[in-house]
Amino acid sequence: MEKTAVLDLLRQEFPREVKEAFSDLGDEIIIIEKESLLPIVKFLRGEPHRYDLLLDLTCVDYLGQEPRFEMVYHLYSLTKKRRLRIKTRLSEKELCIASLTELWKNANWLEREIYDLFGVHFESHPDLRRIFMYDGFEGYPLRKDYPLRKRQPRLRMRE
Partner 1 sequence: MPEAKKRQPPAQFITTQFNSILGWARKFSLFHYPFVTACCGMEYMSAACAHFDIDRFGAGWTRFSPRQSDMLLVVGTVTQKLAPVLRTVYDQMTEPKWVVAFGTCAVSGGIYDNYAVVQGIDAIIPVDVYIPGCPPRPETVLDGLLKLQEKIQHQDQEWRWKRRRF
List residues binding partner 1 (CB under 8 A): 132-134, 141, 146, 148-155, 157-159
Residue 155 C-beta: closest distance to partner 1, Å: 5
Sign of CA dihedral 45, 49, 55, 58: negative
Residue 84 C-beta: closest distance to partner 1, Å: 32
Residue 113 C-beta: closest distance to partner 1, Å: 13
CA distance 124 to 28: 28
Residue 149 C-beta: closest distance to partner 1, Å: 8
CA distance 42 to 95: 22
SS3 call for 122: strand
With respect to partner 1, which residue has the nearer C-beta, 48 or 153?
A: 153
Whose CA is closest to 49, among 103, 7, 101?
7
- DSSP letter at 102 equals T
- Contact, 132 vs 118, CB < 8 A? no
- DSSP letter at 52 equals -
CA distance 118 to 72: 13
With respect to partner 1, which residue has the nearer C-beta, 22 or 146?
A: 146
Residue 151 C-beta: closest distance to partner 1, Å: 7
With respect to partner 1, which residue has the nearer C-beta, 26 or 153?
A: 153
With respect to partner 1, which residue has the nearer C-beta, 28 or 61?
A: 61
With respect to partner 1, which residue has the nearer C-beta, 62 or 132?
A: 132
